Amino acid sequence: MQKLIYCFLFSCISLILLAQEKSQKTEIPEAETFISNHSVTVDGKAISLTAETGTVQLRDENDKPIALFGFIHYKKENSTENRPIVFAFNGGPLSASFWLHFGILGPKRIAINDPAYTKPAPYNVLNNEYTLLDKADLVMIDPVGVGFSRPIGEAEWEDFWGVDQDIRSIGLFIEQFIIRANKMNVPKYLLGESYGTFRNAGLVKHLQDKGIAMNGVIMVSAVFELQHLLFGPGDDTAYLIHFPTYAATAWYYNMVANKGENLESFLDEVRSFTQNEYAPALLKGDQMSATEKESIAQKLSDYSGLSQDYWLRADLRVTNGEFFQELLRDDGLTVGRLDSRFSGVNEDLLSQNSFTDPQSDAISPPYIAAFKDYLYNDLKVRKDLSYVTSAGSRPNFKWDWRHRGNMAWNAQVAVSTLPDMSSAMKRNPNLKILILNGYYDIATVFYGVEHSINHMGLNPELKKNIIMKYYEAGHMMYTHKPSMVQFKKDVEEFIDMTTY
């Protein structure tokens, strides 16, 4: 009898503990925002701003709370009701939006010693005369997993960590935010960088299907077909689309014999070679004669700065990691992936691939430290709230690469949101896309974007809605002062053109 009583008590205690655990897990915390006032001077005119920083409760389609969703909203004081709004985010996946925020979009920017290493603190934070806040209100988005964003209630991290999960949650946030901010009937824009452009291509269709049409989408350092970033066996596309950026990098380091009149004319020549000679050569495989192979290897060498022997040993196929490591090996240096104008110490001269990215090493400490100082002091955020810059620091971070827009048989190896963007443009012929490309970006290469755009199946009139701009800089072209000036001009002209 005593044993039965003990078993009954144990069962009761277990049920109570389970109930408490479930209650704690499903408890819905309150969102919190912090208000601060700012000013930015553009073209000699001061613009007064109100910033709202923090989180809102994100609700699912049944109005059930699923996340505290982080954002920073800059609103011009005493502005008209029809002022455009831009929703901006970085890539990753999954990175917080401070790169774009403190690099080019917000009222302040970090000064970088481009293209070299920036000295440690104190860092120089400046008035950002290249902001777009003179043209539009701005919402910097931090998806769930970064910034202050996290799941609540019964939601789990994996409900947000994936191609479609990410598009859904950001779509929910934008819809709920524009209702909250009375911005349903104003010009609206998406602005994404890197993976943020891949997200954009799917998100613009997702929102359009919900009745929220964008005036325009701004793509910074774009990729729409992720297989373009992978040097897969039997797939020559990645080798072909990376080659013009290898050539641009060799041009920058004066490692080509004939540089032409300028970088643009040189790259036109390289594009022609890639399409008309390099691509047919790779298509032949081992059916190419030794003489022809040697001839192609010599031309690859002339354009890229790598030796003919290296190209022959590589069977005419050099991955980006191999290029980073090989180009300046004799100088004891490796070049940057995000921006090949940056170079750094080669940690292993015998290695086939590089160990680090000099551009990332050079700018990450100043960006992170200066932004967090701005966040907790200027934006008035409580200092006991942790701002997460990358979801890679979270335990068990894993991204679900499946996308419903891709056929099941290729979903794991050929993930693409290009069909989403193509469909959105065909169903909304007023939608315009601005794509900003860095010539020295070896992370998301410009020729890959050109390849994608040329395979969207758009008629000539629709294709005119895609505007391509190029910069003599890298992935984050806004670290380069002349490109910063051009960035503002290109984005402002695009907003003016699409606000109707």
Q: What is residue 78's predicted lDDT score, i.e. its pLDDT?
A: 85
Q: Tell me: the pLDDT tens digits for 194-242?
A: 999 999 999 999 999 999 999 999 999 999 999 999 998 889 999 999 9
Q: Tell me: the pLDDT tens digits for 297-321?
A: 999 999 999 999 999 999 999 999 9
Say which residues have a Cβ less than 8 Å from residue 224's Cβ, sequence separation at least 6: 197, 198, 201, 416, 417, 418, 421, 449, 452
- Are the beta carbons of 305 and 327 closer than 8 angstroms? yes
User: Alpha-carbon distance 205 to 420, whole Å?
Assistant: 6
Three-state DSSP at 137 gives strand
Average pLDDT, the chain: 93
Q: What is residue 18's predicted lDDT score, i.e. its pLDDT?
A: 44
Tokens describing residue 66 = 């699923």
Q: What is the DSSP letter of 288?
A: S
Q: What is residue 11's predicted lDDT score, i.e. its pLDDT?
A: 52
Q: What is residue 407's predicted lDDT score, i.e. its pLDDT?
A: 56
**CA end-to-end span of the chain, whole Å?**
83
Q: Tell me: the pLDDT tens digits for 46-68?
A: 999 999 999 999 999 999 999 99
DSSP letters for 29-94: PPP-EEEEEEEEEETTEEEEEEEEEEEEEEE-TTS-EEEEEEEEEEEETT--TT--EEEEE--TTT
Say which residues have a Cβ less than 8 Å from residue 432's Cβ, sequence separation at least 6: 215, 216, 217, 465, 466, 467, 494, 497, 498
In the chain, where the domains are located = 33-227+365-498, 239-358
Q: Which CATH superfamily is domain 33-227+365-498 in?
A: Alpha/Beta hydrolase fold, catalytic domain (3.40.50.1820)
Check pLDDT > 70 for residue 19.
no
When pLDDT is averaged across residues 10-16 and rounded to a whole number, the result is 48
When pLDDT is averaged across residues 369-380 and rounded to a whole number, the result is 98
Show the beta-strand stretches assigned E in 267-378.
333-335, 343-345
User: Alpha-carbon distance 225 to 403, whole Å?
Assistant: 12
Confidence label for 9 from pLDDT (cuts 50, 70 and 90): very low
Q: What is residue 489's predicted lDDT score, i.e. its pLDDT?
A: 98
Using CB atoms within 10 Å of the CB of residue 240, give its burial: 0 to 12 exposed, 13 to 18 middle, 19+ buried: buried
Q: What is residue 149's predicted lDDT score, i.e. its pLDDT?
A: 97
User: Alpha-carbon distance 368 to 189, whole Å?
Assistant: 26
Say which residues have a Cβ less than 8 Å from residue 386's Cβ, sequence separation at least 6: 148
Tokens describing residue 272 = 């022609």
Q: What is the DSSP letter of 161?
A: S
Q: What is residue 26's predicted lDDT score, i.e. its pLDDT?
A: 62
When pLDDT is averaged across residues 174-187 and rounded to a whole number, the result is 96
CA-closest candidate to residue 247, choices 295, 191, 303: 303
- pTM, entire model: 0.93
When pLDDT is averaged across residues 437-448 and rounded to a whole number, the result is 98
Q: Tell me: the pLDDT tens digits for 272-292?
A: 999 999 999 999 999 999 999
CA-closest candidate to residue 330, choices 308, 312, 307, 313: 307
User: Alpha-carbon distance 151 to 68, whole Å?
Assistant: 6
User: Alpha-carbon distance 443 to 473, whole Å?
Assistant: 12
User: Alpha-carbon distance 169 to 158, whole Å?
Assistant: 12
Amino acid occupying residue 119: K
Check pLDDT > 50 for residue 402.
yes
Share of the chain above pLDDT 70, in %: 93
Q: Tell me: the pLDDT tens digits for 240-253?
A: 999 999 999 999 99
Three-state secondary structure of 202-221: HHHHHHHHCCCCCCEEEEEC
Would you tell me how many other CB atoms lie within 10 Å of the CB of residue 402? 14
Check pLDDT > 50 for residue 414.
yes
Q: Tell me: the pLDDT tens digits for 104-138?
A: 999 999 999 999 999 999 999 999 999 999 999 99
Using CB atoms within 10 Å of the CB of residue 196, give its burial: 0 to 12 exposed, 13 to 18 middle, 19+ buried: buried
